Structure formats: C-alpha cells, structure tokens
C-alpha cells in the first residue's frame, strides 16, 4: 500500500519523528496546540490516486509557521 511505504520512508529518515493520530482533525488540533510541527495528510484513496494513469497527486500538508526556522526545516522535508 502506498501510504504504508510513505510512512515507513518518513520513519526511516533521520531527524523525523512520525506519529499517526487517529484522524486528520486530531492531527490538526495537535498542530494548533504546538504538539506537532507538520501534518501530511494521506487520504484513504491514496492508492487509487497513484494508480490512475497520468494522475498527479497533491497531498495536503499543514505546518506551524510561527517559528520560521522550524517551518523552513519542516517544509524542506516534503
């Protein structure tokens, strides 16, 4: 599954801690509360999106831009 491969790739990357909140709303609440620095949303239909010929898939990515140095690091990872 594409999502599992992506999650594992991030887990294997140096300097990244991966958490998987139960829902997108929960992840965004944690971002707002300062518990997360970035949220990459992997939609349920991700596998199908990648399977469609000629498809370009944009994944929703949210980050905390209140600390520009950290925001730059987070954005640089995506």
16 CB-near residues (< 8 Å, 6+ apart): 10, 77
Q: Which range marks the domain in which residue 40 is found? A: 34-78
Q: What is the pLDDT of residues 40-78, one digit of tens each?
A: 888 887 777 666 655 666 778 887 777 667 667 666 665
How many Cα atoms occupy the beta-carbon half-sphere of 76 within 13 Å?
9
User: How many domains are contained in the chain?
Assistant: 1
What is residue 28's predicted lDDT score, i.e. its pLDDT? 92
Q: Is 10 part of a structural domain of the chain?
A: no
Q: Is 55 part of a structural domain of the chain?
A: yes
Q: Is 9 part of a structural domain of the chain?
A: no
pTM for this entry: 0.69
Q: Is 5 part of a structural domain of the chain?
A: no
Q: What is the pLDDT of residues 11-44, one digit of tens each?
A: 898 877 888 877 889 999 999 998 988 888 888 8
């Amino acid at each position: 599954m594409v999502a599992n491969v992506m999650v594992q790739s991030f887990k294997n990357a140096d300097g990244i801690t991966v958490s998987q909140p139960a829902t997108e709303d929960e992840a965004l609440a944690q971002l707002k509360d300062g518990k997360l620095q970035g949220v990459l949303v992997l939609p349920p239909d991700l596998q199908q999106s990648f399977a469609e010929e000629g498809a370009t898939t944009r994944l929703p990515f949210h980050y905390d831009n209140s600390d520009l140095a950290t925001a730059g690091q987070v954005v640089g990872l995506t």
